[in-house]
Structure 1
Amino acid sequence: MPALTKEQEAAIDATLHAPGTLLEMREEVIAFEENHAPHHKGVKYQVYPNGPQTLVDLFSFPKATGNLDNPFLVYEDKRYTFREADEEASALGSALINDFGVKTLDRVCIVSKNRPEYAIGVMASTSVGATCVPMNSWWKTKELEYGLDNSGTKIVLCDLDRYKLLVPILDKLTNLEKVILFDDANAGSVEPHPKLLMYKDVVSKRRGDAMPPLTAGKDDNALIMYTSGTTGHPKGVVLTHRSICHAITCAVAHSIRQKMMAAVKAGKTFTPEEVDPKHFAVLLNVPLFHATGLHSVFFLSFVIGRKMVMMDKWNIEQALQLIERERITNFTGVPTMVLDMMNHPNFKKYDTSSLEAVGGGGAAPPSTMVKDVQSNFKSAAPLQGFGMTETNALTCLNDGDTYAERPTSCGRATPSMQIAIWDDNDKPLPAGQKGNVMVKGAANLKEYWRKPEATADTMTADGWLRTGDVGHIDEGGYLHLGGRTKEIIIRGGENISCVAVEDGVYQHPGVAECAAIPVPHPTLGEEVGIVVFPKNGAKLTLEEIVAKCEDLAKFECPTHLYIWSEQLPRGATGKIVKREIRQIIEDNKILSEQQKNPKSKL
């Protein structure tokens, strides 16, 4: 199918963003009340003035569209309509204000595996003007202590497994006033604590209460989401009500734009489809503490009015069972999950014909993904995207015919967002040239929580975000990624700080020097490799090293060990140069101990 001309695309955009429509775009300066966001000061962004501005607006979509009694959330044997979820969120919101004295922008943390109360907690906390902190449920006690202390969390909502990790630090966290424990059959065995309350008791007391009014503004903090980066401690990414809503509106605009483009290519007139929202169902197969799960699945479901079927951990056969039973239409996850399903021995036993879109982001997919999805799923179109927690997930999207035409691209910027490629001197590069990927738009983060230096390093004075990725943009405006400048490893969509890994490895007394590097993996994208120069010729094994990494979560621990016979390569400043280490490994085809002997892998 021939590509559209620039004039045709301009005409589509003029219709899509026409004045007075929901997707009208306008240039505006975002004026934060606080004076600690200099990278936003005086910067103009394209915004959607007629779209949702706060999460309360977003959560109100089912009522405004007459879908309140539609199915919303399915988890095991529990089922909620939008109305039932709203009523429970209202009860919890009332308790936060009236029973616990939560005030505007107070932090309410949720740390749990996926379960309905998690979703209810996000709705309640953000609807009353608190700042929700969805925390990594894989963290251990030390990491949780840092996150809760750094965020200044006042109220925690958690499941039993996470509560057990919190017990040793409950009295140390002076800002923490109450812990609300989700329902659990084993909760009765928990030792009483002055800060501990049961979720069912908290909600039952306020059943029937209306949701208290939102006291936060559209440019106030709605979320703090922690993400690993180049420093040892995770950074809290501050996302405002408007930035979240803007990202969701961008995704909706992209979807409509794609359909308009397809109609023009086919020589037809575009007419909006009248599809019953109950037709749509999405599988929540990634954690809600991820932007993919929270934004692309949870938040977007309110706008579409679709059913969300929740998994609390990834299980390939269970996912296939749920797709068949619940007639799932949309599957969004990291590429490894799609590959897992297609490669499962029982794949063909299950009816996956309801799927209409399969794909996601979080890690680079193999270029064969398009053909694999098209050949394995009867009716599903492949899709791929690019985004970060810092951009509210949805920055670039590639689906339909354009993905088939450009299977190595993660797409074009969603409407109103801008992407560019700069050199190391912050000069824009032309199409086709590889450089640093930059993003600008109203969906970008406000700041890193209590880290002005990190914010200044990441954001330019005129509002551009340094993503830490390297890539190029082709002549059609499509982004192609080609590596990263940040010291992070992305394992199955999960960011892992190289600094944190190295800190763990250095706990072993036989390690003189070490460097954490990514090791390519066919389905996870990357695994954690550790290059070690032993102290005084010590004989080291991966098992011994991992045993010393007590403060690392299991997914952060190294799975590959490279023994270096001499001091690790250094640059002019004396810093270890990982780029050179990786080049030496690549040029000399050096294998890790585990690649030499796969049976030795943990």
Structure 2
Amino acid sequence: MEAAIAEKVFAPGTLLEIGEEVIAFPDKHAPHHDGVKYKVFPNAPQTLVDVFNIPKAKGVMDNEFLVFEDDRRTFGQVFAEAAALGDALVNGLGVQRGDRVCVVSKNRIEYIVALIAVTSVGACFVPMNSWWKTKELEYGLDNSGTKVVICDADRYKFLEPVLDKLTGLSKVLLLSGPGTDAFAPHAKRIAYDDAIAKHQGASMPPFVATKDENALIMYTSGTTGHPKGVVLTHRSICHALTAAVAHSALTKTIEAVKAGTAPAAEESAEATKAKAILLNVPLFHATGLHAVCIISILACRKIVMMGKWEPERALQLVERERITNFTGVPTMVLDMMNHPNLSKYDTSSLEAIGGGGAAPPSSMVKDVGKNFKKASPNQGFGMTETNAVAALTDGDAYRAKPTSCGRAVPTVEIAVWDDNDKPVPAGQKGNVMIKGASVMKEYWGKPEATAETITRDGWLRTGDVGHLDEDGYLHLGGRTKEIIIRGGENISCVAVEDGVFQHPGVAECAAIPVPHPSLGEEVGIVVFPKNGAKLTLEEIVAKCDDLAKFECPTHLYIWPEQLPRGATGKIVKREIRQIIEDNKILSEQQKNPKSKL
């Protein structure tokens, strides 16, 4: 029955019609896509500018769009500031087609203004991790060839020491806020507010790019230690968004048919105005940028922003702003459900709650129903390389299969292969592969890494291990990549190990994931001390100057001899983890529960 319904929903002549197309990139940087036929939505928005034109076309420019603390802006006000910024970038700072413009800041309204402005003029938007310090920022800005940076004071203090070394960087627009007066003058720095004031009332310069040109470069941790820049085109972003919309439309139609009712008509203007989503994850994450921000512009939905995650503050905002949609990593959902003051807040406005970014406990789907009576639970699987979207599940389907992260969204294909790149039968574990028009174009400036990740016929190696069940639902069961996912943050094991090696008493070390009930994983470090040195976690963390706080180890395991190695000489972490799981080696925290860390 479901297949027959899908055939009708995506039939030729419908708004969500599915066709096929060969994608050819004009700059020839992506030979793995050449000649590959992908499923596409012919009627989808072709560029982000098409998405940004939707609020005006639907007549909602006077509706509230962004709320951050005491600042409330309509669609019209946000797009007017974006036009001023776009004019400042092009006609004031000389930004041209394809130039990279970076934002490094905590969540704030100007972040979304910059996204709209940069991509609307045909430049490439580069959101960088706001946890990064000087060394990481220098690498990211140099690697991307960023021309203009927009940043807040907390990030500028890390950028300031290397401004003169970044010869390709022409200007820094410093956002207003506490601490901006503490910096010495610099020829490259101007105030963001001054740039906006100078170009106030200007029209947005014309869009000069095409659908297959670069719209975003988003940095993600990888096995090599250095973050990799994931290049996302206008087309790939728009197809990911449309695939999510198509999944929702199909789900609602199936539920209506099963209930014997007519599928819901297009949402009324009043219903649209009442929708509100909480932006509780960073905008440098695909979850925040794609699954909350850009898709909300497509849906003409209000976004209520948080500068940092605070569970009780989130509950307050749900009540005050009548939040209907909550999308975040599982730890955030658990934080709210486990908060002692949950019952004090009216959360009855919530209609959908869930997200992705890390594997949730299977009990979460039941717990959502208990704690948020009207909210339908949902869960997804995706990654930066797939524009956040690959598989989705919600409602009854999620309740029926709580250990699954969903089925492939329309136009996306998911397969499970063995180590010889051959498909395996349903139920058998293997390497999770994804193919679709929503997959990234390439890793910026890293053709070898791109070739290792995307096959010549367009399949993306996710680095995840899992299986497909007989109904096509994906179940994850581990990762092949050398990363730890802590509360949705990808942490490079190599970067952690590099940081720990700064301690002179470390002979060998290996970073491993340590299970955590709410964060999913924490960072564990296994150390073989040099010459019998007595090491503590506090001493090791104190030497990790180049690591962000969330990357620092929270568990220390002292190994009594050289770490186990395989035939190639590589450290065998699988064996290390097994020994630790068997409690044959205890962490310093297990030995000393009163440890400060």
Same fold (TM over 0.5): yes
Please report the RMSD computed on the Cα atoms of aligned residues, expressed in angstroms.
1.0
Task: Tell me the residue number matched to 1:4.
Answer: none
Tell me the distance in 2 between the aligned counterparts of 1:595 and 1:311. 35
CA shift, 1:68, in A, is 1.6
**Alignment TM-score, normalising by the size of structure 1:** 0.98
| Residue pair 2:426, 2:468 contacting (<8 A) in 1 also | yes
Is residue 51 from structure 1 mapped to residue 44 from structure 2 by the alignment?
yes
> Match of 2:24, SS?
coil
CA shift, 1:141, in A, is 0.5
CA shift, 1:20, in A, is 2.9
Q: Look up the equivalent residue of 2:439 and give its one-letter code.
A: N
Tell me the distance in 1 between the aligned counterparts of 2:585 and 2:368. 34
CA offset digits 1:67-97 (Å, max 9, x no partner): 1211110001111111111110000001110
Task: Tell me the residue number matched to 2:20.
Answer: 27
Tell me the distance in 2 between the aligned counterparts of 1:322 and 1:483. 35
Task: Tell me the residue number matched to 1:5.
Answer: none
Number of positions where the alignment pairs a residue of Structure 1 with one of Structure 2? 595
| Residue pair 2:324, 2:350 contacting (<8 A) in 1 also | yes
CA offset digits 1:30-77 (Å, max 9, x no partner): 110112211101001011121101000011111111212111100011
| Residue pair 1:20, 1:50 contacting (<8 A) in 2 also | no
> Match of 1:93, SS?
helix
Task: Tell me the residue number matched to 2:243.
Answer: 250
Task: Tell me the residue number matched to 2:540.
Answer: 545
Q: Look up the equivalent residue of 1:403 and give its one-letter code.
A: Y
CA shift, 1:269, in A, is 3.1
CA offset digits 1:187-208 (Å, max 9, x no partner): 2333211011111110111111
Task: Tell me the residue number matched to 2:323.
Answer: 328
| Equivalent residue in structure 1 for 2:133, among 132, 140, 144 | 140
Tell me the distance in 1 between the aligned counterparts of 2:593 and 2:284. 33
> Match of 1:109, SS?
strand
| Residue pair 2:212, 2:235 contacting (<8 A) in 1 also | yes
Task: Tell me the residue number matched to 2:92.
Answer: 99
Unaligned runs of 5+ in 2: none
> Match of 1:533, SS?
strand
| Equivalent residue in structure 1 for 2:575, among 580, 592, 598 | 580
| Residue pair 1:459, 1:466 contacting (<8 A) in 2 also | yes
Task: Tell me the residue number matched to 2:508.
Answer: 513
582-591 vs 108-117, which moves further: 582-591
Is residue 594 from structure 1 mapped to residue 557 from structure 2 by the alignment?
no
| Equivalent residue in structure 2 for 1:560, among 534, 537, 555 | 555
| Equivalent residue in structure 2 for 1:408, among 380, 403, 407 | 403
Is residue 370 from structure 1 mapped to residue 370 from structure 2 by the alignment?
no
CA shift, 1:588, in A, is 4.1
Q: Look up the equivalent residue of 2:449 and give its one-letter code.
A: A
CA offset digits 1:92-143 (Å, max 9, x no partner): 0011100011011100000000000011001100100000100000000000
Is residue 471 from structure 1 mapped to residue 469 from structure 2 by the alignment?
no
CA offset digits 1:397-456 (Å, max 9, x no partner): 110000000000000011110101000110001110001000000010000000001001
| Residue pair 2:486, 2:521 contacting (<8 A) in 1 also | yes
Tell me the distance in 2 between the aligned counterparts of 1:42 and 1:115. 41
Q: Look up the equivalent residue of 1:523 and give its one-letter code.
A: S
CA shift, 1:232, in A, is 1.2
| Residue pair 2:122, 2:215 contacting (<8 A) in 1 also | yes
Task: Tell me the residue number matched to 2:256.
Answer: 263
> Match of 2:31, SS?
coil
| Residue pair 2:252, 2:264 contacting (<8 A) in 1 also | no
Alignment of 1:183-198 (within 5 A): 183-198=176-191
Alignment of 1:388-407 (within 5 A): 388-407=383-402
Is residue 384 from structure 1 mapped to residue 370 from structure 2 by the alignment?
no
CA shift, 1:601, in A, is 4.9
Tell me the distance in 2 between the aligned counterparts of 1:370 and 1:126. 37
> Match of 1:363, SS?
coil
Q: Look up the equivalent residue of 1:293 and give its one-letter code.
A: G
| Equivalent residue in structure 1 for 2:55, among 53, 62, 67 | 62
Q: Look up the equivalent residue of 1:179 and give its one-letter code.
A: V
> Match of 2:166, SS?
coil
Is residue 301 from structure 1 mapped to residue 296 from structure 2 by the alignment?
yes
Q: Which runs of 4+ in 1 moved over 4 A?
A: none
**Alignment TM-score, normalising by the size of structure 2:** 0.98
Task: Tell me the residue number matched to 2:417.
Answer: 422
Task: Tell me the residue number matched to 2:487.
Answer: 492
Tell me the distance in 2 between the aligned counterparts of 1:591 and 1:360. 34
Is residue 79 from structure 1 mapped to residue 72 from structure 2 by the alignment?
yes
CA offset digits 1:165-207 (Å, max 9, x no partner): 1110110100000000111244233321101111111011111
Unaligned runs of 5+ in 1: 1-7
Tell me the distance in 1 between the aligned counterparts of 2:430 and 2:96. 44
| Equivalent residue in structure 1 for 2:314, among 302, 312, 319 | 319
| Residue pair 2:85, 2:199 contacting (<8 A) in 1 also | yes
| Equivalent residue in structure 2 for 1:202, among 190, 195, 209 | 195
